[in-house]
């Protein structure tokens, strides 16, 4: 879902004008950003929590040239889904028809054939 689609859904569900719904979505986003910038966490019971994690400086490599690159320390936002959200998502998945993946038997293991055997079909 894009931001524009979210605005449309808020406008429809809350019976607001598109302009009012857009402003409401903007206020929510601004509040989330401001709260995280202040180092605080946001907990939405039944949905999840937003927090900021610190990533330390590290040394990486330029994928094109392979040259070493210093990557500075930074703070990154992350979202941890709540128990209820996880359960709702898994209920949706459990309700869908899925075909189980066949188990690999020792005779199908590619290490027995030097790695030249094709993987089993799904």
Q: How far apart are CA 20 and CA 31, in angstroms?
A: 16
Residues 6+ apart with CB under 8 A from 116: 110
* Structure confidence by residue, pLDDT tens digits, 69-104: 999 999 999 999 999 999 999 987 776 655 555 555
Global pTM reads 0.64
* Structure confidence by residue, pLDDT tens digits, 25-49: 999 999 999 999 999 999 999 999 9
- What does the pLDDT read at residue 93? 75
What residue ranges do the domains of the chain occupy?
Answer: 1-39, 41-93
β-bridge mates for residue 75, sequence order: 54
Residues 6+ apart with CB under 8 A from 84: 46, 47
Q: Which fold has domain 41-93?
A: HU Protein; Chain A (4.10.520)
């Amino acid at each position: 879902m894009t931001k524009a689609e979210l605005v449309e859904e808020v406008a429809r569900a809350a019976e607001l004008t598109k302009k009012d719904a857009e402003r409401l979505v903007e206020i929510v986003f601004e509040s989330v950003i401001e709260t995280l910038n202040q180092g605080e966490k946001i907990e939405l019971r039944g949905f999840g929590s937003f927090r900021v994690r610190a990533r330390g400086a590290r040394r990486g490599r330029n994928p094109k040239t392979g040259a070493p690159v210093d990557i500075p320390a930074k703070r990154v936002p992350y979202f941890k889904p709540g128990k209820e959200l996880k359960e709702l998502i898994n209920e949706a998945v459990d309700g869908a028809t899925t075909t189980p993946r066949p188990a690999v038997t020792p005779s199908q293991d590619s290490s027995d054939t030097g790695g030249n055997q094709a993987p089993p079909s799904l």
